[in-house]
Structure 1
Amino acid sequence: MTTLAPPPAVAAPPEPPHEPTARPALALAGAALCVLAAVLLGFAANLTVVGHLQHARDQQTAYDELRRQLALGIAPVGQRDYEGKPLRTGAPVALLRIRALDIKEVVAEGTTSEVLMSGPGHRRDTPLPGQAGTAVVMGRQWAYGSPFNDLHNLPTGTRIELTTGQGKAVYEVTGLRRAGDELPAPVTGGQGRLTLITATGAPYTPNGVLRVDAKLITPVQPNPPRDLRAGWITSAEEALGTDDGAWLAVFLWTQGLLLAALLTVIAYRVWGRWQTWICAGPLLAALGIADAQAITALLPNLL
């Protein structure tokens, strides 16, 4: 009697791979890390490469605009434009040249941190260069083109040229001042002085103020009527001032960056690694730079 062999054992079907479940806490932590990395990288880029490129672009734009206004005879000569409207903050008002330091910069109206990202700024409560009184121009020491980084090397007698809507004004350096140094004698009627201001200290860590005084050696130009008197500016426009109004921009850019980071984490889990970073990387970098620029406005304006 023959016995039947038992049927071969059928292998059990392989279990499907276990898909990790998305955990909201991990997703939020990943998004927070993305935000932190984007802001830190954007901050470093803003104070170095990107900031210098932005300064060069803004200077070229301001130079073209100032040259156009000078050619048409409508360049600013006071606190109002040729239409009689208050001069807007950031408007080009003068071309600064210091040949000894190879400096050629367009000076804008205003001295807030945001204005000084584009180049030197004219303190709004002082006369324009070439006019009677003391004209004050501020510029950054290291960031955004570092236009005034070498002011401490200016020797006495150096010529400084500024071109405005009233023509070219030439100044001669009379000395440098730091905290505790003796103040120069007040200017009297019919005399003009220029004071250039920047920060002192190690790179990106300002700890004081450097002032360069220069006397006007060309004829004094007339002063138009002034709406803004001496001292009528905000603390954000003073030397080493910070702009508290930038907090709103920081909040909005951070919100946008956080939303983009959350979407990036979700896409990473659903879509894949390389596809996600190819699409999300440029967006996170751009938002990080924009957020870091808004944060930079909270730092001292002469940085």
Structure 2
Amino acid sequence: MAVLTPSQPAAAPPEEPAAPPTPGRSGADARFVVPGAALTLLAALLLGFAANLTVLGHIEHARAQQTGFDTLRQQLALGTAPVGRLDANGKQVGLGSPVAVLHIPAIGLREVVFQGTTSGVLTKGPGHLRNTPLPGQPGTSTVLGRQWGYGSPFNHLDELHPGDPITVTTGQGQQQYRVTGIRRAGDPAPTVLHTGQGRLTLITATGGAYTPHGVLRVDADLTSPVQPGPAAGGAISTAERPLEGDPAAWLPVLLWLQALLVAVVAVTWAFRRWGRWQTWIAGLPVLTAIVVALSGAATELLPNLL
């Protein structure tokens, strides 16, 4: 047993290692936080953009088709389905109103056709070009449809062959057509129609997936009796022409951007004052809904045949 003498001081107990400092939110470097948040928002917007053109867009298209079919079926039963640019009340048929049902057995297509051909209308399904007659009436009726996005209703249009039947149901009954040919850029136009003849032209995009670079046209001649109809024609906006986006979509895009900014500020404030998990539980659904709505509005700026 060791004995301490006055000349031998007692040994000090060993010191415990200091605990590492706990990182806190106050120590975050703004040089990394701000760019990180911006990149996170950008990634979320890109994911929402892709989702709207694929999964969410197909769901939206299916819902629009169901509601459009129910509306048109009721109008057909009541005899109020539109047969021209004016409805039963003498008013212009609104953009996005159902006007016909297109059936092409050769490619398994059955779609409700809506009035108008803007990018927003074509998210619902094929659209009728407003300055052309409705199917079954004299002249060339034109219907546009997307190649890939929002249900991709006209994705297999290039698989049609001359002689394939097409049926279009309108307020004037069933109209029968036979495909006469497929046209791409540079192909000759079909023969001019004579008085009392009818033709249907289906238009979609050409190119790879979600990369349209041209227009594909399918022509079909009317084989059923021609139906009477008002004179076609009139002005249409640039947004209703093939491969055009809709400039009117900029307003909802800007409004949703403002909503996203407000939501981000609110989530940031709640994160510092309320707590991490409480903020995410309350804020994540709001941010997700705004991002989906914003990216959906932005898709209307893209070509309508995409």
Name the residue aligned to 1:271.
274
Match of 2:245 in 1: 242
For 2:285 and 2:40, the matched residues in 1 are separated by 13
> Following TM superposition, where does structure 1 have runs of at least 4 consecutive aligned residues deviating by more than 4 angstroms?
16-19, 21-31
For 1:157, the equivalent position in structure 2 comes to: 163
Shift of 1:88: 0.7
For 1:104-183, what aligned pairs fall within 5 Å after superposition?
104-183=110-189
Structure 2: how far apart are the matches of 1:139 and 1:249? 23
Quick one: distance in 2 between partners of 1:140 and 1:215?
22
CA contact (8 A) 1:38 1:284 kept: no
Rounded Cα–Cα distance in structure 2 between residues aligned with 1:272 and 1:33: 23
- Give 1 or 2 for the bigger CA radius of gyration: 2
Q: Which amino acid aligns with 1:77?
A: V
Question: Is residue 129–residue 143 contact of structure 2 (8 Å, CA) maintained in 1?
Answer: yes
Distance 1:19 1:126 in 2: 62
Write the distance in 2 (CA, Å) between the matches of 1:139 and 1:279.
39
Alignment of 1:244-259 (within 5 A): 244-259=247-262
Q: Which of 89, 98, 106 is equivalent to 2:104?
A: 98
Among 87, 102, 105, the residue aligned to 1:81: 87
Name the residue aligned to 2:14: none
- Structure 1 residues 26 and 271: alpha-carbon distance in aligned structure 2, compared to 1, 3 A threshold: farther
Structure 1, residues 37-75: CA drift from partner, whole Å, max 9, x if none? 331111011011000000000000000000000000000
Alpha-carbon separation, structure 2, partners of 1:210 and 1:184: 14
Using a 3 Å threshold, how does the CA distance of structure 1 residues 202 and 68 change in structure 2: closer, same or farther?
same
The count of aligned residue pairs is 293
Post-superposition offset of 1:32: 2.8
Partner AA of 2:53 in structure 1? L
Partner of residue 222, structure 1:
228
* Residue of structure 1 in register with 2:192 after alignment: 186
Conservation of the 8 A alpha-carbon contact between 1:172 and 1:217: yes
Mapping of residues 195-234 of structure 1, within 5 Å? 195-226=201-232, 228-229=233-234, 232-234=235-237
Q: Identify the range of structure 1 (95-104 vs 24-33) with the bigger mean alpha-carbon deviation.
A: 24-33
* 2-structure distance, mates of 1:148, 1:104: 11
Give the counterpart of 1:282 among 282, 285, 303.
285
Q: Larger deviation: 162-171 or 265-274?
A: 265-274
- Number of the residue aligned with 1:300: 303
Q: CA deviation at 1:23?
A: 7.5
Give the Å deviation of 1:213.
Answer: 0.3
In the alignment, what sits opposite 1:42? 48
SS at match of 1:32: helix
SS of the aligned residue for 2:130 comes to: coil
Residues 54 and 144 in structure 1, CA contact (< 8 A), matched pair in contact too = yes
Contact 1:27 1:266 in 2 (8 A): no
Tell me what 1:62 maps to.
Answer: 68
**Matched AA of 1:157:** G
Aligned to 1:33: 39
Secondary structure in 2 matching 1:189: coil
**Normalized against structure 1, the TM-score is what?**
0.90
Cα deviation 1:2-51 (Å, max 9, x = unaligned)? xxxxxxxxxxxx9x977716887766545533431331111011011000
**Which one has more relative contact order, counting CA pairs under 8 Å at least 6 apart?**
1
Q: CA deviation at 1:246?
A: 0.9
Structure 2 SS opposite 1:20: helix
Query: For residue 39 of structure 2, what is the amino acid of its counterpart?
Result: L
Name the % identity: 58
Is the partner of 2:41 in helix, strand or coil?
helix
* Alpha-carbon separation, structure 2, partners of 1:104 and 1:79: 23
- Hey, what's the Cα distance between the residues in 1 that align with 2:204 and 2:106? 17
Alpha-carbon offset, residue 242 of structure 1: 1.1
Structure 1 gap segments, 5+ residues each: 1-13
SS in structure 2 at match of 1:256: helix
